[in-house]
Amino acid sequence: MEELSRGRALGKVTAVIEESERSPMGTMKKIMQENPDIVNMSIGEANFDPPAELIDIACRLSADKVNRRSLYTSTRGLPPLRQAIARYMKKTLGADADPDENILVTVGGTEALHLAIKVLVRPGDKVLLPNPGWGALEGLMRRQGPEILYYPLRKAHAWTVDTDAVLQAMHAGVKVLVVNSPSNPTGAMVVDPAGWARIMEKAKELDIFVFSDEVYHVYTYEGPFVSAVGLDPTFENLLLIDSFSKAFAVMGWRIGYAVAHPWLIRQMDVYKETVSACTPSIAQWAFAEYLDSCDAYLEQRRAMLKDNMEKMVARLNAIPGVFCPKAQGGFYLLPDFSALEPSSVAMVEKLLRGGVATAPGAAFGSMGEGCLRLLFSQEWLDVDKVVSRIEKTLTG
Amino acid sequence: MEELSRGRALGKVTAVIEESERSPMGTMKKIMQENPDIVNMSIGEANFDPPAELIDIACRLSADKVNRRSLYTSTRGLPPLRQAIARYMKKTLGADADPDENILVTVGGTEALHLAIKVLVRPGDKVLLPNPGWGALEGLMRRQGPEILYYPLRKAHAWTVDTDAVLQAMHAGVKVLVVNSPSNPTGAMVVDPAGWARIMEKAKELDIFVFSDEVYHVYTYEGPFVSAVGLDPTFENLLLIDSFSKAFAVMGWRIGYAVAHPWLIRQMDVYKETVSACTPSIAQWAFAEYLDSCDAYLEQRRAMLKDNMEKMVARLNAIPGVFCPKAQGGFYLLPDFSALEPSSVAMVEKLLRGGVATAPGAAFGSMGEGCLRLLFSQEWLDVDKVVSRIEKTLTG
């Protein structure tokens, strides 16, 4: 680790963030810029074009001088966008939400999680997170000082949970349970409909707050997707997190939303005022106008993603020693390569030299060791080329 | 205050935010939407058009499919933007900063302050803020639990500070001193060049960290603007906060930056990863291309703002009992109406019925009582109409 000098006044300050917390995203991007032949399967992005109609709307609204789209919006989010989100939720999740009371528009799903954690989690609280799970979530939680407990996603069961084990982990001392389905990094719909019902029932019984991170919900490939929202229609114990970043390939626009009880939404709203003031305005105006007409776009991308995923899974499972469950949703596969190389970090380093950038399973928790997270959202994905490189590097 | 019911799980949670902390911005906007004849002098926005060239660039880049401008950028900010910011700082502040080490691109100046406070301020620390000063700053600070001390801006001295009094307040127990010049809500350049030099000298002597919020620095109307940056070129004791929101009338784009010691920038950068992931990408790409050619735009707006301000000051000072110092920079006047009505909140209510929306001086601290904050950034400002309404309402 590089030596860092500090300024004099800074000498009095303890680092709130360890250097080891840094994600390798910046380093990866740099290596890939320097080596354009490397195939990027590593960074969690939607590597397809955003809707052309959405871009057209954004340009037209940016240039609209009469309505001044560059002004602050309300911190809560534009009313027509919140109304459009309520219709989108009805259509894609089968769920009802009151645009005035239940919805907060946020700077991506990241800000929604950040605000909810700041409002709800206190030092010493117990929180229950998935292992493997999204690394930033753990970082966010850790800074609030709770005791972090984990429930496992099971590799041998296509990365789903054992509902009984989750129910057992949900004891009275737990304040927040986080569920992310479809999952980053595994691609699984981690809970089945019956399991979800039992989990929400226990959450209500013990007053546990459930954060349901469903940012990949529009891209599912088999079976019905079950949102948590229908199971707690008044949001007594539930916070839904969704984002347009991954669904519409506009990660850089920074727009998502939280759905929760009016009391929690008000608290997050006021907190947000001093964090980001408002969510980017052009993105809000553009989605307010676009969102009702997104069906064909989502259908096309879903077909492309499913095709990528199925080809990847077939080719990976054909490599002796590799076990790759299908993804039921989202952009990721988390195949098990441990029979070839037990250390996921060692694999990532080998594969980078072999021309494929991947993310080490261990970065998502102990249960991910021996696995690699592979992104399949690339519109241009050459499955043969990628899997050949992986096979050659790890078995050669 | 409206009664709020809570969900069951929420019943266990203490509100982190009091309802009384809410800014009246939302309410004001609603009243004004319902009464289009009310002149808005209340909300802190740049009410003029953004640069046409900037909008054109943003549209062209949004539609650029080859370079995928909708992807995440690095959390630190696009390298070409940080380089452009370093040139802009050299040109407008006469200051040097290393684009790789000293600059973090943020979701407006608000996020820059939020991140710095989260990294540096701990419960029990002493922080020194201006009175009157920007309300959100106090809210941000309060949530970190420091002891908040104030130094006065003096109405009788055109809202500048008594440097000796500030130096006296800077004792060894103080961790952070915040200076905002040109000031919101007063329009003053609060410290003169000699005063700044003495303050930074004492800050270095006592290892006090100075946050210099200079977001209005491109709009100044008399005398040289002195940035704090030249007084601590290695950023040992200094954090500069700047924003494009007010300078280029793109509040809704959410883009600003922090300049500080490399150690602090790294800490803020890592923290930001879990707060906003990155600053909106199109805004970053557009400013990277636009920023070098901003001179004529800024010069035109400065002339318009100065003209508005001088007309307002002349007309307000002609009302018997009103005392209105000139603004030396920024968008605001804070005239003293206390001879006509001592309560600024009562004045705001009267004036709203009289057709002018204003902000009560008391909302910015006890020193603002008896005063109103008036915005003069409106390209279409009808000074006669506004001041006639104010005069008629408060003296009639």
**How far does the CA of residue B364 sit from the closest CA of chain A (Å)?**
15
Q: Nearest CA to B179 among B157, B195, B158, B156? A: B195
Q: Given this model, what pLDDT does residue B65 score?
A: 77
How many residue pairs bridge chain A and chain B with CB atoms within 8 Å of each other?
Answer: 235
Domain residue extents for chain A: 9-50+296-395, 66-293
What is the model's pTM? 0.93
pLDDT tens for each residue of B195-205 = 999 999 999 99
What pLDDT does B135 receive?
Answer: 84
Q: Does domain B63-293 match CATH 2.115.10.20?
A: no
Identify residue A305 by its one-letter amino acid code. Answer: L
DSSP A9-67: GGGGPPPSS-GGG--THHHHHHHHHH-TTSEE--S----SPPPHHHHHHHHHHHT-TTT
Pick from B21, B73, B110: which is nearest to A252 by CB?
B73
Domain A66-293 has CATH 3.40.640.10: yes
Report the 10 Å Cβ neighbour count for A205.
12
Is the CB of residue B271 less than 8 Å away from at least one CB of chain A?
yes
Confidence of residue A24 (pLDDT cuts 50, 70, 90): low
Q: Is B252 in contact with A281 (Cβ distance < 8 A)? A: yes
Of A196 and A19, the structure prediction assigns the larger pLDDT to A196
Is A252 within 8 Å of chain B by CB?
Answer: yes
Amino acid identity, residue B380? Answer: W
- Alpha carbon distances (Å) from A303 to A295, A299, A324, B18, B160: 12, 6, 20, 48, 64
B133-151 tens-digit pLDDT: 998 899 899 989 999 999 9
Query: Does the CB of B10 have a partner CB in chain A at under 8 Å?
Result: yes
Listed as own residue / partner, the contacts of B163-170 with beta carbons closer than 8 Å and 24 or more positions apart are B163/B191, B163/B192, B163/B194, B163/B195, B163/B198, B163/B199, B166/B128, B166/B191, B166/B195, B166/B199, B167/B198, B167/B199, B167/B202, B169/B128, B170/B128, B170/B199, B170/B202, B170/B203, B170/B206, B170/B208
> Cβ contact (<8 Å) for A16 and B175?
no
- Tell me what pLDDT residue B64 has: 84
| Whether pLDDT at B20 is above 80 | no
- Chain B residue with the nearest C-alpha to that of A237: B9
Inform me whether the pLDDT recorded for B345 exceeds 80. yes
Q: Is B267 on the interface with A (CB under 8 A)?
A: yes
pLDDT for B160 beyond 90 = yes
Tell me which chain A residue has its CA closest to the CA of residue B120.
Answer: A13
Question: So what's the pLDDT on residue A27?
Answer: 65
- Cβ contacts (< 8 Å) between B279 and chain A: which residues? 254
Please state, in angstroms and rounded to a whole number, the distance separating the CA atoms of residues B271 and A72.
Answer: 24
Q: Do A13 and B261 touch (CB under 8 A)?
A: no
Q: Residue A274: which of B73, B139, B175 has the nearest Cβ?
A: B139
* Distance of residue B270 Cα from the nearest chain A Cα, in angstroms: 6
Residue B107, token pair as written in the block: 């979701």
Q: What was the ipTM of the complex prediction?
A: 0.92
H runs (alpha helix) in chain A? 25-34, 52-62, 79-93, 108-120, 135-143, 163-169, 193-206, 262-273, 281-290, 295-317, 344-353, 383-395
Evaluate whether A331 touches A305 at the Cβ level (below 8 Å): yes
Architecture label for domain A9-50+296-395: Alpha-Beta Complex (3.90)
* Chain B positions in Cβ-Cβ contact with residue A6 (cut-off 8 Å): 261, 263
Q: Record the tokens describing residue B64, joined without a space.
A: 């650029």
pLDDT of residue A66: 76
Alpha carbon B347 to its chain centroid, in Å, reads 24
A140/B278 touch (CB, cutoff 8 Å), yes or no: no
The answer to whether residue A343 scores a pLDDT higher than 90 is yes
User: pLDDT by residue (tens digit) across B37-82?
Assistant: 899 898 889 999 999 999 999 999 988 877 788 999 999 999 999 9
* pLDDT surpasses 70 at A223: yes
Per-residue model confidence (pLDDT) at position B43: 84
Give the model's pLDDT for residue B3. 43
Contact B74 A25 (CB under 8 A): yes
